Structure 1
Amino acid sequence: MQLPESFFKQRRLETLVENQTSYTLENAALHVFETHKQAEHVLLQFDNPVLASMLKGKKIMHLKDHRSFDFLPGESLILPSDELMCIDFPEARENSPTRCLAMAISDDLIKEVITFMNDKMPKCDQREWSFLDYNFHFTNDIGIHQILQRLLFLFTEAHPSKDYFVNNMLKELIIRIMQTNSNKIYTEKTMDSSKDGRLSYIIEYIRKNLEKSISVMELSKKAYMSESNFHRVFKNELGMSPVDFINNERIKLASSLLQDPNLKIKEVFMRCGFENRSYFNRLFKRIKNVSPREYQKKIFK
């Protein structure tokens, strides 16, 4: 993400560690923090839930659950109200500062969006959406990246209607983050389908049958739902269609299989449920930004 020219014209450098430039609107405040020298154990805390997103450089985050991790550009972190962050800046330099945005969002707006999602975008099995009450660290997808880039521009722009513009962008951002979190839970955790309901069962079924032809009609029948309702509920909760989810899982499996030097590409795409190589190549490149052959070369060079 790039900071707009207006930011550099307006901001003042008053300290070399976590120099703060802030913009406050009706339902959110955006802060850009810049650090120009190495530092350790810098403390930071906000009254409202915060989205932190790295723009440049590297931080090491230490959170109250004793978890520490590298925080890098292209990544974001959701923190609940009053969460105390302890931050190290191992690589910050005067000519190469670390930059991070932190956006505090009002509880009222979050509650409004959650109410909307429960009303218009219900989860499967009557479970309700609720805001994240723990630290959620994730890589920005293209949708979230573009919203954050737009918000950087809107907050720094001198426009009479920017409160309205920002509120609309924040609502979309909250929905996308909630869906990203739901997707990550379903994707990364091994689930007991007897405990976690129909959608968990369907996702486990997809994973175990990637080599087979899987249709949305078949999945909807297994979920005891109409095809249209299944498609809607799946997309509402995971932020992508069932077909896109199946394709992502197949490419994830293909990425793993391509690391086996004894497997040919034909064997890989067939074991992942693809019927022809050209479609497999196109989809792999769209998701991984390289062809299967190029991916394999990088692994074995």
Structure 2
Amino acid sequence: MPVKNYIHQIELTPPEQLDTLVENRRVFNLQNCEFNVFESYQQAYRVPLRFNDLVISSMVRGKKVVRIFDDPAFEYLPGETAIVPANEPMFIDFPEARFSDPTQCVALTVDSSYVDQILRYLNEYYNCDKYESNEWTLRFNQYHFTNDNEISGIINKLIRICSSGDKTKNIFADLSLKELFIRLMQSQRLTQATLESANSTNSNRMQYVLHYIQEHLLEKIAIDELSRKAYLSRNMFFKWFKEQFGITPLEYITRERIRLARQLLADKQNSVTSVSQQCGFTDVNYFIRAFKKAEGITPKNWQSTITD
């Protein structure tokens, strides 16, 4: 599993102020959003939950099991976020919650008209590719994911803003919410484009470039060559890629090589040096550093955790 970026611990509700032991709720109201802290102090199963507005939820402590969209239930753990559309029913289990070890999550509910306003503005003034239509939109087929550093950082900032007594907090919350939506959509766009590029190589510039990267992961990939594939100058290509996906092309290439390395390391007959070479890394020490940054442990230690 990739390194998780955790939401900062939030002080638990004092026992004398608890209204319920299952999904006790604290709420902070702002102009365009509502910040909720939910805590559960005892086991419970199939607890129904529904929000009237779009919700961005992040786990802080403990474990939940969530059922949504008629999909299979998934474990919801610290370091993870879920995005759920308005009025979508959820059912939640709390299999490990105890008074001494409660679950805690935060939930930002955002007014749908405010979300629409953000999307209209981005599509009108910040379309990332003037040659192709790449609409800014939220995709709910990617509703549960591991936090990256950017997303966890913005959520932590929003928690501080929403729970503060600062009279200007609505202004700062507005700026941070816009940034959060942009980061979420960039991450979703990259995941979606990577999946689509495996099946369609020439539908658009985005798929063509990502497909080329996937096909040449084991080789040296020159940025100048990617720029030519995209029919952009080197500088414009970097700018275009970062605006599309929120990361640089080099960061994406490294990320995909690490993903491939995990698959190869699952075979314990493959040495770290061999995997490094097979994944297109020319320096094994750089591979080890990059792998540890992404996974939290070295490739050798990661390999030792694999059970036969």
User: Whole-Å Cα distance in 2 between the matches of residues 235 and 117 of structure 1?
Assistant: 15
1:171-182 residue pairs with structure 2 within 5 A?
A: 171-182=178-189
1:207-218 residue pairs with structure 2 within 5 A?
A: 207-218=214-225
Matched, 1:2 2:24: no
Report the 3-state secondary structure (helix = DSSP H, G, I; strand = E; otherwise coil) of the residue aligned with 1:193: coil
User: Whole-Å Cα distance in 2 between the matches of residues 233 and 187 of structure 1?
Assistant: 16
User: Whole-Å Cα distance in 1 between the matches of residues 136 and 19 of structure 2?
Assistant: 42
Q: CA deviation at 1:66?
A: 3.7
Report the 3-state secondary structure (helix = DSSP H, G, I; strand = E; otherwise coil) of the residue aligned with 2:48: strand
Match of 1:247?
254
Matched length: 300
2:134 pairs, out of 124, 127, 130, with 127
Match of 2:105?
100
Deviates more, 1:58-67 or 1:158-167: 58-67
Q: CA deviation at 1:281?
A: 2.1
Report the 3-state secondary structure (helix = DSSP H, G, I; strand = E; otherwise coil) of the residue aligned with 1:91: coil
Superposed CA RMSD: 2.3
2:65 pairs, out of 55, 60, 66, with 60
Q: CA deviation at 1:113?
A: 2.7
Contact 1:4/1:153 (8 A) holds in 2: no
Report the 3-state secondary structure (helix = DSSP H, G, I; strand = E; otherwise coil) of the residue aligned with 1:224: coil
Q: Give the direction of change, closer, same or farther, for the CA distance of 1:195–1:63 in structure 2 (3 Å limit).
A: farther
User: Whole-Å Cα distance in 1 between the matches of residues 303 and 65 of structure 2?
Assistant: 32
Q: CA deviation at 1:264?
A: 2.5
Match of 2:51?
46
Report the 3-state secondary structure (helix = DSSP H, G, I; strand = E; otherwise coil) of the residue aligned with 2:214: helix
- The gaps in structure 2 that reach 5 residues or longer are 1-6
User: Whole-Å Cα distance in 2 between the matches of residues 48 and 11 of structure 1?
Assistant: 30
Match of 2:154?
147
Match of 1:83?
88
TM-score by length of 2: 0.89
Q: What one-letter code is carried by the residue in structure 2 that aligns with 1:91?
A: E
Match of 2:145?
138
Provide, for residues 34-88 of structure 1, a one-character-per-residue CA deviation record: whole Å limited to 9, x for no partner: 1111112211111111111111111111113343211111111111111111111
Deviates more, 1:113-122 or 1:200-209: 113-122
Q: Give the direction of change, closer, same or farther, for the CA distance of 1:117–1:141 in structure 2 (3 Å limit).
A: same
- The gaps in structure 1 that reach 5 residues or longer are none
User: Whole-Å Cα distance in 2 between the matches of residues 264 and 281 of structure 1?
Assistant: 12
1:117 pairs, out of 96, 99, 122, with 122
Matched, 1:33 2:33: no
Contact 2:22/2:42 (8 A) holds in 1: yes
Report the 3-state secondary structure (helix = DSSP H, G, I; strand = E; otherwise coil) of the residue aligned with 1:152: helix
Q: Percent identity?
A: 35
User: Whole-Å Cα distance in 2 between the matches of residues 64 and 287 of structure 1?
Assistant: 30
Q: Give the direction of change, closer, same or farther, for the CA distance of 1:234–1:164 in structure 2 (3 Å limit).
A: same
TM-score by length of 1: 0.91
Q: Give the direction of change, closer, same or farther, for the CA distance of 1:152–1:292 in structure 2 (3 Å limit).
A: same
Q: Give the direction of change, closer, same or farther, for the CA distance of 1:148–1:10 in structure 2 (3 Å limit).
A: farther
Q: CA deviation at 1:189?
A: 5.4
Provide, for residues 163-194 of structure 1, a one-character-per-residue CA deviation record: whole Å limited to 9, x for no partner: 11111111111111111111222345563225
Q: What one-letter code is carried by the residue in structure 1 that aligns with 2:214?
A: R
